[in-house]
Amino acid sequence: MIEKPMVLKTDLRHFLDEEGKLLTLTEQAKTVFEFLSKIVSSISECIAQPIVDIDLVAVNLKCNTRAEQINCQGDIEASCINIGLIEWHCDSCKAAGTISNWQGSLWDKQQHIMH
């Protein structure tokens, strides 16, 4: 049997209220959100407008920060494709995921160009 990696597909808006502020979360959900928001901040700093595909960026984040019971010491790498979807994965284990609807959030660090 082929082992399929778990892919965490996340819509960042599910963690936010109508004003874009963080909802009251359980401790586990806070841990996951902190992990995802660090990926968004790190990758969005590398994005110019308009969005073009960017290569893998090493995010200053260890895989084991996703949850307390994870003992993987791998590093997280991420990229963004031009539809605004962030893709991330661990360079050691099979952990991976996507983050959508992050643009315009408090964690979006893109340099917007005024035309």
Domain encompassing residue 57: 7-15+25-100
pLDDT at residue 52 is higher than 60: no
Considering 1-10, 31-40, 55-64, 74-83, the range whose residues carry the highest mean pLDDT is: 31-40
pLDDT digits (tens, 9 = 90+) for 75-92: 999 888 877 899 999 988
CB 49, CB 112: distance < 8 Å: yes
Q: Does 112 reside within a domain?
A: no
What's the average model confidence in pLDDT over 9-21?
A: 94
For the segment 2-31, the average pLDDT, to the nearest whole number, is 87
- In total, how many domains does the chain have? 1
Pair 86, 107: CB distance under 8 Å: no
108 falls within a domain? no
Q: Residue 113 domain-assigned?
A: no
Q: Is residue 83 part of a domain?
A: yes
* Residue 5: cis peptide before it, omega within 30 degrees of 0: no
